[in-house]
């Protein structure tokens, strides 16, 4: 029961940390820029898509990936081309009208994540400092397995990636402090 309580408290702390990182601190928006000509850009993107999805511009069809001549021609034609990674939703972003469903999903995700962290921290006979360190390390693990590959493979901006890593590491450190407090400060 203590582990569940620790996870719930940690999830709430992580949820509010995320809100602060995005609304009060610049961490959650590092690397984001305001685009110009938004309607013209959206119209141009709409003409090149086939419904909701993730699109990479320029890209080569997967069935041509093993065709060395096609890959070489594509690479040569696009070596100096601009690049874009686009998440396209033709129906718009419902969060613009009402963030409640997004906040509910985020809270549920944070609670489940914190329950996992609390479970891991309750497995061993760790003291307070070691529990906080492990929670922080789990935050670094999550950032290194998601944010860094997006920077590496999909060219997400470095400052965006640094902000994402900071959000995860600092957030799980804070949540880890509260999880460790609920689990107990002493080693068993």
Summary mean pLDDT of the chain: 94
Tell me the two tokens of residue 170. 């600092």
pTM for this predicted structure: 0.87
Nearest one of 160, 118, 169 to 142, comparing CA atoms: 169
Percent over 90 (pLDDT), the chain: 92
Nearest one of 178, 24, 157, 184 to 110, comparing CA atoms: 178
Q: Are 165 and 152 in contact (CB under 8 A)?
A: no
DSSP 58: S
Q: How far is CA 171 from CA 73, 101, 157, 175, in A?
A: 45, 22, 21, 6
How many beta carbons lie within 10 A of that of residue 12, not counting itself? 16
Which residue, chain included where needed, has tokens 């600092």?
170
Task: Tell me the pLDDT tens digit for each residue of 3-19.
Answer: 999 999 999 999 999 99
The reported pLDDT for the residue numbered 186 is: 56
> What is the rounded CA–CA span in Å between residue 101 and residue 124?
36
Contacts for 26-34: CB closer than 8 Å, 24+ residues apart: 26/163, 27/163, 27/166, 27/167, 27/170, 28/163, 28/167, 29/163, 30/159, 30/160, 30/162, 30/163, 30/164, 30/166, 31/156, 31/157, 31/158, 31/159, 31/160, 31/161, 31/162, 31/163, 32/160
Give the start-to-end residue ranges of the domains of the chain: 2-38+101-183, 53-88
Average pLDDT over residues 81-87: 93
Q: Are 185 and 127 in contact (CB under 8 A)?
A: yes
The reported pLDDT for the residue numbered 173 is: 98
Q: Most distant CA pair in the chain: distance in Å? A: 64
The reported pLDDT for the residue numbered 28 is: 86
The reported pLDDT for the residue numbered 27 is: 93
Task: Tell me the pLDDT tens digit for each residue of 39-55.
Answer: 999 999 999 999 999 99
Binned at pLDDT 50, 70 and 90, residue 164 comes out as very high
């Amino acid at each position: 029961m203590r582990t569940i309580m620790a996870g719930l408290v940690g999830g709430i702390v992580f949820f509010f940390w995320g809100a602060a990182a995005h609304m009060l601190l610049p961490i959650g928006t590092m690397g984001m820029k305001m685009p110009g000509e938004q309607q013209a850009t959206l119209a141009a993107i709409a003409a090149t898509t086939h419904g909701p999805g993730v699109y990479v511009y320029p890209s080569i069809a997967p069935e041509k990936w093993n065709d060395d001549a096609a890959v070489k021609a594509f690479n040569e034609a696009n070596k100096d081309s601009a690049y874009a990674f686009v998440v396209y939703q033709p129906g718009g972003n419902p969060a613009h009208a009402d963030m409640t469903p997004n906040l509910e999903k985020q809270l549920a995700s944070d609670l489940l994540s914190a329950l996992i962290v609390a479970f891991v921290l309750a497995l061993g006979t760790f003291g307070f400092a070691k529990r906080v360190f492990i929670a922080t390390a789990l935050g670094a693990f999550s950032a290194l397995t998601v944010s860094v590959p997006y920077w590496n493979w999909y060219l997400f901006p470095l400052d965006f990636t640094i902000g994402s890593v900071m959000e995860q590491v600092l957030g799980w450190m804070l949540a880890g402090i509260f999880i460790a407090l609920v689990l107990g400060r002493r080693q068993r």
